[in-house]
Structure 1
């Protein structure tokens, strides 16, 4: 059993299934609804735990009642929490998500971590005790910089969840061993995948992958380019698929090489898209 630290965003997700998102000044009645803890690092931690590991989430929760809902959900999935701002009284971010029934596409509105940043002093230097792998989602830049330096000093490898570019990430890139990026990840002056690969390679990252939904994953590993087909499914809900991919990757990369870990993680992520919400796939995994 391995232990992973997942540092970044913790939200409460209100997830609705509907025929389509509402237009301007329009109301829509949903056909289903579910509530779960969310955020890239959070969903990745749940996936990592569900695959038989110890997952530790480092994020901002505080004392607000909504934080208790997040804690309760994560306790159900055996995710340990390190609260980076335990005395904070403001609400954690709440995300509202509408999943379109026919396509599984999702529309999301959230404040993310813009109002809940912590500084590097929030990091206990013992946070990496017994940790085998670290995932950073870029939502807590100062804390991530501190963790990255600590991890390097302890030879603990780092995975970057590159969902979108965030100022300050350039300070973290030299510490990253595996960068898993979405098609929407655009570092400064980068407009296409070739430029993204070049930028991240120049920063010293040896293993880079760009996920593109149902299209093949593009990767660059130790100077060699390639592409990897992903399982083709009829999507019910794509919400959190990238996060689940990252959590699964953290599990498999501790057992497999880069390409095999990508393939195994893609299989888990694709499977998750066949279920509404970000948790139902776990029940199927255990059946």
Structure 2
């Protein structure tokens, strides 16, 4: 079983020929509205790969919440609303507007901030947290995306006590990152992840960067730290040993939206299946490469390109 804890959004995705400049209007080639968020996309990825997944996220009530909830359930993900019943009328999923550039598949994202939902752990006792986490134990995996941090910390502590593997999707540095990292067994960082006070890694001619960021993150607790860099090899620091994992070349790049989420979901799914960290990462980058050949974060699933 995989439990994902973090952000659930409504994504409004438009494909454009180019990003608009100041005071410019552009006409979209297509429009789609569906659920998104790192934890949500990761959960859907795991289900597509045959691993049951539960998503712990802020849902709330109202038309947006109803639409997102129906979409998540249709993807086969068990959805648990982390918002206490007494507060649900005041909460709805965050909204993200995504512009995907036709031809390159690059995307630009504008989203509302879910930080105001970060106090969902307030007043929770152990039984409440256990109800969110569900019946987990050794062999199960908890994936955090860094959002809803106080809630994520409470869930991670219980997961560690239950013997779960705890994984962090390190999209960017957040104030609670040190506490989260201390609870993690594995972390997969994005290229944009920066540790305050740690120099930005330089690259040599081979594309290999210095390991300042990986080393700093590893010393905070995780045994396995990786950093994705788009089409370039993934940098890895595992039990003090540094290596790289090659990223296969896609046949074409249609859309990079959600590719990082797919990496995290596929990585966690492989861990649930008993794969060691290195093998799980190798499997994950293959799945993510397949995903960018299709539109949207989950177009590859709808196209039957699961493998």
Q: TM-score, normalised by structure 1?
A: 0.95
Give the deviation of 1:286 after TM superposition: 5.2
Distance 1:186 1:286, change over 3 A: closer
Deviation string, structure 1 residues 202-230 (Cα, Å, up to 9, x no partner): 11210000000000000011111000110
Q: Taking structure 1 as reference, are residues 67 and 238 closer, same or farther at Cα in structure 2, changes over 3 Å only?
A: same
Closer, same or farther in 2 for the Cα pair 1:116/1:272, shift >3 Å?
same
CA distance in structure 1 between the partners assigned to 2:212 and 2:296 by the alignment: 34
In 1, the alpha carbon distance for the partners of 2:24 and 2:92 equals 27
Aligned: 1:275 with 2:273: no
Partner of 1:16: 14
1:211 correspondence with 2:232: no
Quote how far apart the aligned CAs of 1:126 are: 3.3
Contact 2:224/2:277 (<8 A) preserved: yes
From 159, 173, 176, the counterpart of 2:181: 173
Report if the CA contact (8 A) 2:144-2:169 is conserved: yes
Asked if 1:154 is matched to 2:162, the reply is yes
Which piece of structure 1 moves more, 117-126 or 191-200? 117-126
Matched, 1:198 2:215: yes
Is the contact made by 1:61 and 1:88 (CA closer than 8 Å) also made in structure 2?
A: no
Contact kept, 8 Å, 2:129 with 2:154, in 1: the verdict is no
Deviations 1:65-123 (A, max 9, x none): 10111111111111111111142434321100000111110000001312322332355
Kept in 1, the 8 Å contact 2:4–2:42? The answer is yes
Distance 2:132 2:28 in 1: 42
Matched, 1:70 2:68: yes
| Distance (Å, rounded) in 1 between the aligned partners of 2:78 and 2:167 | 19
**Partners of 2:50 and 2:189 in 1: how far apart?**
25
RMSD, aligned α-carbons: 1.5
For residue 264 of structure 1, the aligned residue among 259, 283, 288 is 283
Contact 1:64 1:89 (8 Å CA) reproduced: no
Write out aligned runs for 1:20-99 (5 A). Answer: 20-85=18-83, 86=85, 87-99=88-100
Deviation for aligned residue 1:13: 0.3
User: Residue 117 of structure 1: SS of its match in structure 2?
Assistant: helix
Secondary structure of the 2:305 match is: helix
Corresponding pairs, count: 285
Could you tell me which of 266, 271, 283 is aligned with 1:248? Answer: 266
Give the deviation of 1:58 after TM superposition.
Answer: 0.7
Partner of residue 125, structure 1:
130
Work out whether residues 37 and 74 of structure 1, in 8 Å CA contact, stay in contact via their aligned partners in 2: yes
- Deviation per CA, 1:185-210, whole angstroms, max 9, x where unpaired? 11221222522112112112100000
Runs of at least 5 residues in structure 2 that lack an aligned partner in the other structure: 202-209
Q: Which residue of 2 aligns with 1:145?
A: 153
Greater Cα offset, 77-86 or 236-245: 77-86
Match of 1:108 in 2: 109
Partners of 1:39 and 1:160 in 2: how far apart?
A: 14
Q: Which runs of 4+ in 1 moved over 4 A?
A: none
